[in-house]
Amino acid sequence: MTSLRLFGIIILVKNLTQNPCPCESGNPYSSCCQPYHQGLAAPTSLALMRSRYTAFVFGLEDYLLKTWHPDTRPSFLNLADDPATQWLGLQIKRVENTSEESGIVEFVARYKIAGKATRLHELSEFIYTDNRWYYLTGSNPNVQL
């Protein structure tokens, strides 16, 4: 990533801090997902899920990798190679704590690829370890349940 490009992203994120958070919580980014992107541990699996969606919107690869459980984490994401994806919104369908250390969040994320609107319906599994929530894996709820 060139320094010019990084600079542009910082300006973009600064301008967006007072805007509604992309995760559609209804709160501004600065009091929603931003603190987690800046290092605060997300207190719940839902907060982590929302902050990871917003990280996809902003292309925050480091955050996505950092919050991915080491057992399932890819070595890289290369979001920059996929500039055609435009994230449109997030709808939380179901949140369930399956134990003290695990939870699931079912959601629908809407996005556009090359002008074509698409829906991602996923059941994400999260795990709590070392005082932090981590994304473990995702599956299609229509197949799993």
* Binding-site string for Zn ion from residue 14 to residue 53, where x marks contact by CB under 5 A and - marks none: -------x-x-x------xx----------------x---
Integer Cα distance of 142 and 139 in angstroms: 9
Contact 134, 141 (CB under 8 A): no
Size of the site for Zn ion (CB under 5 A): 7
Nearer to Zn ion, 8 or 20 (CB): 20
Q: What is the CA radius of gyration of the chain?
A: 15
| 85's tokens | 């994806």
Shortest separation between residue 23's beta carbon and Zn ion, angstroms: 3
Footprint of Zn ion on 96-125 (CB under 5 A): none
For helices 3-16 and 45-58, what crossing angle results, to 10°? 130
Chain residues in the site for Zn ion (CB under 5 A): 21, 23, 25, 32-33, 50, 54
